[in-house]
Structures are given as C-alpha cells and as structure tokens.
Amino acid sequence: MSIQNLYTPEKITQKAKDLFQEEHAKKRLDGWFYIKEIQKNCTTKYSDCPLELKAAEMLREVAKALPISISEHAIFAGTQSDSFARSYALINPTFEVESFAGYCDPTAVFNDIEPNDEITRDRIEAMREHDKKSAYVKALDDTYNPVKKYTGEVAFFIEQVTGHVIADFRPALAHGVNALIAQVDEKLKTVSDETRRTNYQAIRIALESVLILAGRYADCADELAKTADETRKAELKLMADTLRKVPANGANNLYEAIQSFILLWQVMCMEQSPNPFAFSVGNADRIFEPYRAKEDLNRATTAALLKHLLVFYNVGDRSWAISQNLMAGGKANDGTDLTNPTTYALFDAYYDMNLPQPILSVKLHKNTPAELYAEMGRFFFTPGCLTPSLFNDDSMFEVLRANGVEECDLQDYSIAGCQEPLIMGRDNGNTTNSWLNLAKVLELTLNSGVSTVTGAEIGSVHKMADPVSLLLNIRPLFYENLEFYVDKMVEAANSASKAVSLLPVPFLSALMGGIESGYDMRDTEHQGTKYNGSGCLIHGLSVVADSFAAIDRLLAERPQDAQRLIHALKNNFEGDEELRQYLLTCPKYGNNIEKVDLEAKEISNKVSDLISSKKNYLGNPFRPDYATPSTHLLYGYWVGATPDGRPAREMLGYGIDPLYGDAQSGLGFRTLSNMRLPFIKMNGGYASHFGIDPKYFKTKTYEEKGVEFKNRVIAPLFFNSANQELAPFYLYVNVTTPEILRKVMENPKKYAPSGVYIMRIHGTFVNFLDLSPAIQNDIIKRLDLQSTSL
C-alpha cells in the first residue's frame, strides 16, 4: 500500500500541524537524561573497551532501552526530542547578556531539567557527579582554567564543538544501512592496522543501532494497531512495513526516504546527546528529488510529506534544537541549475508551516530561474513569516576552490549551523571552535593590557606611556597584541578539540567518510574526513576600522587631544561628551567613504591571513569566519569605550556589517562599502543582515515582489558587474520595521494570533515572541533602516 492510498495531501498536512501543536505543548525534555542514565549504567560493562568501541556499544544500549512512542498524529516514526535539553540561552526568556558565560561547562545542562516525582533531585545530582568525574570534563577543565584571564572578558573564547557538520545520508537512503555494514565487513577482511580495525568494529556496532531502533518502532506500530480503528490500523501497518524495510535497505519512494532519513538523524543526535547543536540537512531538494521522481509524486503530496520532516526538527515548546540548516536551489559543478520540483514543494511546506526550525537557505547563481525568485516573494513580504538565507554559488565556488576544495565536491557544499560552508559528508570544520574579539584587543592595546571595564590586568605585548606615540603606532601595536591573543586562543581551541576526541562518534563517522578512512572523525591524530579545519569567528571588524579612522583624524586635526582621548576611553567618555560627539562625526564604514572602507578591507585581509596561518590539531588551517551569532551583543558587553565614539558595553557591529546607526547613506552606498571586503579569504563564512522596509516595493503580487526584490537587493549585491573583487556570498534579511515589531511586542494577540511570529536572528529563525527582551531589542536596533533605504 502506498501513502497516496491512505491520505490526501490535506490529511497529511493536518496531521503535521496537529503533531507540531503536540510537540509545541511540551514543557519538559527528559529524553536526554534517560540517555545519560542508560550510558552511566553500562559504563562498567564496557570500561575495558577502547573508546571507540565503548561509544558504539553504549549507543547500541541506548537504542535498545530508550523509551519510545508513536503519536496518534504521526505518519513517520522517530524524534530528535530525546537528544536536546531546554538550554539554548537566546530563546530562553530569562536570558540576560550580563550573566551569559557560554556553553563551556557540559555539566551545566543538569540545571536545565526540573526535578519531579520521577526524575528527582538526587538522580540529577548523581548524574552530574558522574559526569564531573569523566575524562572529558576533566580535559575541558584543563583547557578552560589556564585561559580564564582571557576568556573572562572575551578577548577570545573557545568551544568544544559538538554538531556543526553535514552528514551525507544519500548512500544510506539509496542502498540501506545493511549495504554500509557490508562495506565495513569487507574492510575488516583486509585492514590489519589495529586502530582502523577498532574503528571499523565500532562503526559496525553503531550502524546496528539504527536497525534496532527501526525494529522497535515497527513493533510499537504493530502493537498500537491492535487497538486502533480501521483507518489508523492501515496507517500503522504502512508505517510498520516501511520500518521493516528502511533504513536497513534502500528507499524506493519519498515516504520511505523520509522515514529512513528521520531514523538516521535520530541516532546521529542520540550519539551526541545532550544538545548536538547545529547538525544540518544539506541540499535537501537534491537528496529527496530522486525518490519523488521514482513515483512522479505531485507537488501537493510532496509538500505535505515534507511538512512532517519539518515538524521533526522542532523540539518542545520553543523549538530548542537550533541552527539546523536545510538548503535548496543552486548549481552543479558544470554550472547547470539544480532547481527541481522538490525545491518548490519544500517552499510550499515551509510557507504553510512557518516553523522556527529548520532554517531554510537558498542557493542562488546568475542563471537561477526567475520562477524561484517569484516563489520566494511570499516569504519576504508576508509579515511574521520566515525568510530564507541567501547564498551566492558563483562566489562560494570560488572561495572553496581557493581553499583547497576539489572541483568534484563544489556542488556538495552546504551550510552547517548559521552560515558556515562545508562539504556534505566530507568536511569536519569544527566551525565554532574559537571566537576572536578584535574590539577587546584594541581596548587592551590602548590601555596597556588593562580592562577599562573591570580594571583587571589581562595582558599586552607593549605598554606605552606616551599617548601620541601610542596613537601614532596603534596599528602595529594592535596587530602585535592580536597575534599574542590568537596564539593563546589557538592553543586552547586545539586543546578543546582534543577533549572532544575523548567522545568518539562512530555512527556519525560512518556518514562522514569513516568507512573510507577507517578513522573516527574526531580523531586528533588521524584525519577521518576528506577535509578538516577549525573555525574562528571574528568580531568587531567595523568598530576597529572606524576607530583607526577616528584616531587618524584626531591626530591630524587635534593632536593635543591624544591624552584626552585615552583618558576619555578609560572613563567611558564621562564628562567629555564633546569629544565623543567629535569621534562620532569621523568617517564610518558602510557609507562608501574610501578611506575607512579600505581600512576595513586591510583589517580583514590581515586578520584573515593571521587566522589562516594558524594550524589546528591535525595541522590544517583555521578558517576565518566573520560571523557573530548574537555574540556581537554578548562580547560587546565586555568591551570598553572605543575611539569610534562607541560607549562601553555597547554591542559590536554584526558580522561584517557597520555598527548600527553608523551607515546612513542607504543600501547603495552600504553595498559599495561591502564589496571592497576580501570575501575570497572568508572560507569559514561571514554574517550580514539587511533590514528592509517593505514600503519600497510597489508591485502588487508576492511573485512580482519576489522578482523586484531580486532586482533591487540581491542582484546589486551578488551579481554586480561593477564589482572589482569577488562578490559577496551570503545575506539574510528581515523585511519589516521597528514600528511593526513594537506593535507585535505590545499586542501579540492582535498581530500574531497563532502565537508564532518568525524573525531572523543571525543564521536561524526564531519565534520573536519567545525571545528575551534583550534579543528582541537587538533585532529592532539592527533593522537599521537608514543603512538600507532604497
């Protein structure tokens, strides 16, 4: 029996919406805790195993013992909700910038579960104490403790990366997990190296986990069918029959492919529970189109089935599993367009459901069909609707080529997390491994290594008493200090990666090239994936560029005020508003003023070269990434007053964007400033946001507005023939105004009666109503409509 015989598209859609409401009503996420307890209870049993085998055996134990269920609204079995806690700060309404300290303590997750009659405080504390004694937590402590002086006020930060990759499920979907196991068995016949043999044994056991889980769900469906009405009984029989076929064997239609995909994803997340943030789907329209095409499934039914896939990604009452990216569109290695019928069905599914997860990203190129732009119009111009991130394949291919990606892999690039480009199934980029705060380094350079925020001595290569000499030499002194901090950061980041290697991931490794290499993808001595690197997210570009420009003007026009500037910065301009106003009138990046725009270009060139010269644990380059996923706000809180006139604790510029309020000449001039930056060196990615006022678009239909948006916003940025450098490759937008968002805040029942009003923060969607006031106001500030007036 096929899915079309059981359901109409409307019935499938209604079930998806009912399933989301059921999930959205969940106030507790306890599954991750049960996973931790299952692992704890078999620790002794596998204590003598190598780490890789221990990880695989424990995953198999979880697949056997984790409580499972199937909702009455479900047409697919599986959930990722058991792998996530209520942890992500920015969608927590109690979040405060002042108290945020990052995600560096893996035992802090135990604060995110409320004790009840079943999961008592004693059980929670017992698990916390067990984890505290683990080699992994001890290794992280050994990493963070020596650099607290630098991370405390965020001169830099480092992170143990969990997710942030794009596994390649295509071989498993096409041929089945049994075929992957057969490949592993063939390897075991010929490989003699003990390390690789252990890894292959671990991969084999880990792959069995998804087969165990599929069998349990099939049994569950059969059991539910015994008491179901005739309609539901037929639905459950189809589900059970499908689960006994996939993912063990290859899928033959879209329904089977989605079911297989969901279970593979569930086990991938279970392996890294809790909170494997930012696993991403990859090029979803290309993944699923072959299965749609096998039965020539119509657009409405395809969209309806995909709605269930979208619901799968939403966890609990606030969609706690964040930054899961799904891509559509784009071009092939030979330049041909890869848009297909599933692309448009995905658009339909996203538009109708309008959920906080997963993120929709769209790949564009010079030959993208006009139909795609027309179909995107409804997203951009429907208030409270999600808006896709936009990527320029023509530029991205050049960035990847310049950084060692082989021609055959270009079309398989995708986005992990917010905006980080990786190759599906081949690239372990450790994308959020390190975070660099240029503005804090500038503050410390100007104050002999002493924080103007707290007075703490943090460090500086040079201490110069004469303010004129200090300001005259600010650039070389800044770059010397920067290298000092970068070296400390790289050492700590590599140490964090080595700590994570104590938690091997054999299941994920099987989907990331581990069957070919024979190594775990987290191995810090052997490269388990074809490509490998470590990311460095760079903050404060515009603040430093504007500060250098302001210092130059001050020395040219008011050299006698050099000491006054240093004193004013120490005191956050208190008592010297005249000087601050003078600094604010100095040239600002984003207004097509050549001097300061070239300053930003030089800074990004030098900083990118510095970062990419540093090597990670395998000797591969760190990747410059000018992205600031709300950390422009968090890290800015620890930066004192800067010479551009920015006061202490104010946010930094978002990504490569001007500091809000500083670019006042409109979108054309801002785009010209933007185009001077060396995007070819930003192979880790970057962030950029346009807040667009909808009043500028005069056409009537959504389709017409979509094409108008392409012509007025996208084409001048991505495909501008006047651009002398490599064109930008990323953008996200919010098409709204501060007035509209304030109305939503003041009267949500009127302006968001569904309880959901989707906005963008950095590379992810969020329900605006779920955000803390600090993040709501940040979104409103950064709309910055003067910088994008048309």
Predicted local confidence at residue 97, as pLDDT: 67
Q: What's the rounded Cα separation, in Å, for the pair 727 and 218?
A: 50
pLDDT level of residue 692 (50, 70, 90 thresholds): very high
Residue 79 has pLDDT above 70, yes or no: yes
Predicted local confidence at residue 476, as pLDDT: 96
Q: What's the rounded Cα separation, in Å, for the pair 641 and 443?
A: 8
pLDDT, one tens digit per residue, over 134-163 is: 999 999 999 999 999 999 999 999 999 888
Q: What's the rounded Cα separation, in Å, for the pair 134 and 132?
A: 6
Which whole-number Å values give the CA distances from 513 to 60, 180, 438, in the listed order? 21, 11, 36
**Residue percentage of the chain with pLDDT more than 90:** 90
762: its two tokens:
């950095």
**629 Cβ contact partners less than 8 Å away, ≥ 6 residues apart:** 323, 417, 418, 537, 687, 761, 762, 763, 764
pLDDT level of residue 288 (50, 70, 90 thresholds): very high
Q: What's the rounded Cα separation, in Å, for the pair 16 and 306?
A: 9
Which whole-number Å values give the CA distances from 180 to 52, 72, 107, 158, 516, in the listed order? 18, 33, 35, 35, 11
pLDDT level of residue 415 (50, 70, 90 thresholds): very high
Question: Please, is 66 exposed, middle or buried when counting C-beta atoms within 10 Å of its C-beta (0-12, 13-18, 19+)?
Answer: middle
pLDDT level of residue 766 (50, 70, 90 thresholds): confident
At 262, which helix (H) or strand (E)?
A: helix 254-271
Predicted local confidence at residue 101, as pLDDT: 62
* Mean pLDDT, rounded, for 301-307: 98
pLDDT, one tens digit per residue, over 305-356 is: 999 999 999 999 989 998 899 999 999 999 999 999 999 999 999 999 999 9
Predicted local confidence at residue 95, as pLDDT: 64
Which of the 8 DSSP states describes residue 646?
A: P
Residue 178 has pLDDT above 90, yes or no: yes
Q: What is the bridge-based pairing of β-strands 685-686 and 689-692? A: unpaired
Cα three-residue angle 598-603-604, rounded to 5 degrees: 95
pLDDT level of residue 642 (50, 70, 90 thresholds): very high
Q: What is the rounded (10 degree) CA torsion for 666, 668, 673, 679? A: 130
* Mean pLDDT, rounded, for 746-757: 90
Q: Is the dihedral of CA 22, 23, 26, 29 positive or negative?
A: positive
Nearest Cα residue to 310 out of 352, 355, 372: 355
**47 Cβ contact partners less than 8 Å away, ≥ 6 residues apart:** 54
Predicted local confidence at residue 100, as pLDDT: 65
Predicted local confidence at residue 738, as pLDDT: 94
Residue 629 has pLDDT above 90, yes or no: no
pLDDT, one tens digit per residue, over 645-666 is: 999 999 999 999 999 999 999 9
> Which residues make beta-bridge pairs with 731?
390
> Which residues make beta-bridge pairs with 328?
362
Which of the 8 DSSP states describes residue 713?
A: I
Predicted local confidence at residue 89, as pLDDT: 62
Contact 374, 748 (CB under 8 A): no
Question: Please, is 185 exposed, middle or buried when counting C-beta atoms within 10 Å of its C-beta (0-12, 13-18, 19+)?
Answer: exposed
Three-state secondary structure call for residue 310: helix
Q: In what order do the strands lie in the sheet with 622-626?
A: 156-158, 434-437, 534-539, 622-626, 685-686
Q: What's the rounded Cα separation, in Å, for the pair 39 and 20?
A: 30
Q: What's the rounded Cα separation, in Å, for the pair 417 and 246?
A: 28
Strand stretches in 389-495, DSSP E: 389-392, 413-416, 420-423, 427-428, 434-437
Q: Is the dihedral of CA 120, 163, 330, 653 positive or negative?
A: positive
**194 Cβ contact partners less than 8 Å away, ≥ 6 residues apart:** none
Identify the residue whose tokens are 């630098």: 150
Predicted local confidence at residue 99, as pLDDT: 66
pLDDT, one tens digit per residue, over 226-281 is: 999 999 999 999 999 999 999 999 999 999 999 999 999 999 999 999 999 899 99
More confident residue, 772 or 304: 304
Nearest Cα residue to 187 out of 170, 174, 199: 199
Residue 299 has pLDDT above 90, yes or no: yes
Task: Count the helices and strands in the chain (H runs, E runs).
Answer: 33, 17
pLDDT level of residue 102 (50, 70, 90 thresholds): low
Question: Please, is 347 exposed, middle or buried when counting C-beta atoms within 10 Å of its C-beta (0-12, 13-18, 19+)?
Answer: buried
pLDDT level of residue 297 (50, 70, 90 thresholds): very high
Predicted local confidence at residue 103, as pLDDT: 67
Identify the residue whose tokens are 């606030």: 318
> Which residues make beta-bridge pairs with 766?
759
Nearest Cα residue to 166 out of 427, 501, 532: 427
Contact 679, 726 (CB under 8 A): yes
* Mean pLDDT, rounded, for 54-61: 98
Helix residue ranges per DSSP H, 313-420:
341-353, 370-381, 393-402
